Amino acid sequence: MQDRIKAWQTFLSRPENKWQRLIVDKPSRDSNCGIVYELENFLQDPNEGFAIVDMRNLAFAEPHYHAHDESEIYIVLQGSACVVVGNQERQVSVGDVIITPANIAHYVIPDNQFVIAVINTPPFDPKKYVRLYATDSSVAFDHEQFVRLTSTQSPIP
């Protein structure tokens, strides 16, 4: 996995591959995790999906997990955030990498500049996306922690 992360970091560090350029004229969709630009896999790996997720106008990304075998890697491209994976809180900023295994709860409390690259292995499948509304120890989600962390957040106009 470290080789794949290094390859994506190398790709994203090239001036011609800045996230703003990658999304020009690309379709987007709104989600509870921000504006998602699902892009081609520039590293030509059919076992991975690649997207840019813009969370700049989001108070928080909803708690969820990816069922079965779908893991997720975030590479922070801009801004900073508190990312919670399982019950572990981590402050992240540009260049940081977050790995979320399958079947583990996660969510993000971004600042107003937060943008990430997301690599899903295998590619993202909306049928495997499971929202969380209550504490679920089987996926390491603590609803009280979520409420505590987001209680001072309000949607950004």
Give the CATH number of the domain where residue 51 resides. Answer: 2.60.120.10
Reported confidence tier of residue 153, pLDDT bands at 50, 70, 90? low
Please check whether residue 156 lies inside any domain of the structure: no
Please check whether residue 117 lies inside any domain of the structure: yes
> Strands across the sheet with 49-54, in order?
29-31, 34-39, 49-54, 115-121, 71-78, 97-100
Quote the CA–CA distance of 87 and 37 in Å, as a whole number.
28
Please check whether residue 63 lies inside any domain of the structure: yes
Please check whether residue 155 lies inside any domain of the structure: no
Side chain identity, residue 87: N
Determine the average pLDDT of the residues in 71-94. 97
Closest by alpha carbon to 73, among 48, 93, 90? Answer: 48
Tokens standing for 119? Answer: 């690599």
- What is the reported pTM? 0.93
User: Where in the sequence is the domain holding 73, given as residue range(s)?
Assistant: 2-150
Please check whether residue 113 lies inside any domain of the structure: yes
Quote the CA–CA distance of 139 and 157 in Å, as a whole number.
32
Mind listing the pLDDT tens digit for each residue in 101-151?
999 999 999 999 999 999 999 999 999 999 999 999 999 999 999 999 998
Quote the CA–CA distance of 40 and 29 in Å, as a whole number.
15
- The confidence score (pLDDT) of residue 156 equals 40
Please check whether residue 157 lies inside any domain of the structure: no
Please check whether residue 35 lies inside any domain of the structure: yes
Side chain identity, residue 11: F
- Counting the structural domains of the chain, the total is 1
